Chain A
Amino acid sequence: VLDPLIASRAVHLASSLVVGGVAIFSALIVQSVNTTSFPDRRQEQLMFAALALAVLSGATWLLFLAARIGQSSVAAVIDDGTAWSVLTETQFGQVWVGRLLIAILLFCVGLVGPGVWRRGLRLLPSLQAALAVVFVGMLAWSGHAAGTMGFGGFLHFGGDVLHLITAAAWVGGLVPLLMFVGPRVRSPQPPLVDCFRVLRRFSTLAAWSVAALAAGGVLNTWFMTNGLRSFFGTEYGDLVLVKIALFLVMLGFGAANRYWFTPRLLPTNVATEEDTRALRLLCASVSLEIALGLVVICVVAVLGQLPPPGHEHHMD
């Protein structure tokens, strides 16, 4: 049976990562490569759609969580005030209110951004990226890292924030990357110079993100499994191994994009048949990478609900 709480968590994680990914992609990749086609209307629409989905799934996450806490139905916890108490009287709810305010700010920046940008205020994409990074990073308060106490708690929380932000930069950024590169396959004379530069720049950002993502992941796993003592032979550890395996396959696709497909796009404005073929293969590779990223997010959503073996404490 599909657990609505885990499903809400998965949709919220995915949409939040795309919000972060689009903002980082716009600020660090596209803006610095091709200012003539910036801001991109399609990227703006993707940002609005991801934000709307994040807000909606955030609301359902809160409602299903309240239903689980109150051991009742969603309708009942709305009716008896439990959902309101979860929103206003728990750390999770307060973080949700803060993230909702940031989402509203991001909507506003998205609405006025392009006009202001054209009038010369070039800092706006950076402001949008900063807001989106905070929006994604605050998610760490909704997971296991929020519960670790003492100095280790700061390390665990910091590792989780790093993990989330770098996941947004890489996995979330793959969606706007595909939207940037995809239309150029169909175009009769694609501007491949921009495409080549965007791909190279994204690839460098992704490489750094992967390193930080792995460091954050190791830190997370260390705290969750009691210094790896409770890693092997536990359901939690098994799922982390599945996540690592999927991560490695994604890395393989990323390496193929960087070292195989991208170099075939010669930095020229004249598109050849070979260029178009390489672009088509690259789009397929990025699409598969996104699909694998979605599976990883589903694994993370399940991990968030499992009892971490490092937290278990038995009293005799």
Chain B
Amino acid sequence: MRNFRIIALFAALLGCSTQVQAHAMLDHASPAVGGTVATSPGQVTLYFTQALEPKFSGGEVHNAAGARVDHGKSVSGNVMRLSVGSLPPGSYSVTWHVLSVDTHTTQGSFNFHVGK
């Protein structure tokens, strides 16, 4: 009975995986999260709280109609850049997913607006 309790304690301890969550968080972005820029930014830049693994980190930019408008990404250190070229005025959504160098995955999204 005592052995069973010890085994159950170990199993409970090792079974805490449901709590696994993200580690690298979005610190800030340009254009800012929920912000408005007067003209097309050329690229969306995301700054994270930890360095990223380029191979397993990426993002997408979509316009209000749901069409993808980004073309190419670059990741260096804790910064991810998504090229968007010339964006017409309107609302855009950015979705991102990253793997931090301490091997934890995170994802998120935010919107920004181009034009007055």
The reply to whether B20 and A305 contact each other, CB–CB distance below 8 Å, is yes
- Would you call the interface of chain A mostly helix, strand, loop, or mixed? helix
The reply to whether B20 and A2 contact each other, CB–CB distance below 8 Å, is no
Interface residues on B, range: 20 to 34
Number of interface residues of A (CB under 8 A): 38
Contact of A302 with B100 at beta-carbon distance under 8 Å, contacts A89-B53, A147-B51 already known = no
The smallest beta-carbon distance between B20 and chain A, in angstroms, is: 5
A27 CB–B CB distance under 8 Å: no
The smallest beta-carbon distance between B50 and chain A, in angstroms, is: 4
Stretch of B24-32, B37-45, B61-69, B84-92 with 4 or more beta carbons under 8 angstroms from chain A = B24-32
The reply to whether B22 and A298 contact each other, CB–CB distance below 8 Å, is no
CB contact list, A110-159 vs B, under 8 A: 142-149
CB contact list, A1-55 vs B, under 8 A: 1-3, 5-7, 10
Contact of A149 with B56 at beta-carbon distance under 8 Å, contacts A305-B16, A308-B23, A315-B26 already known = no
The reply to whether B49 and A1 contact each other, CB–CB distance below 8 Å, is no
From the candidates A2, A10, A92, A302, name the one contacting B103 in the complex (CB within 8 A). A92
Q: Which residues of A contact B (CB under 8 A)?
A: 1-3, 5-7, 10, 65, 68-69, 85-86, 89-92, 142-149, 235, 295, 298-299, 301-302, 305-308, 311-313, 315
10 CB-based A-B contacts, threshold 8 Å? A3-B14, A10-B14, A85-B56, A91-B53, A92-B101, A147-B101, A148-B50, A295-B10, A306-B20, A313-B27
Sorted from nearest, which 4 A-B pairs have the closest CB atoms?
A: A3-B17, A147-B102, A313-B25, A147-B50
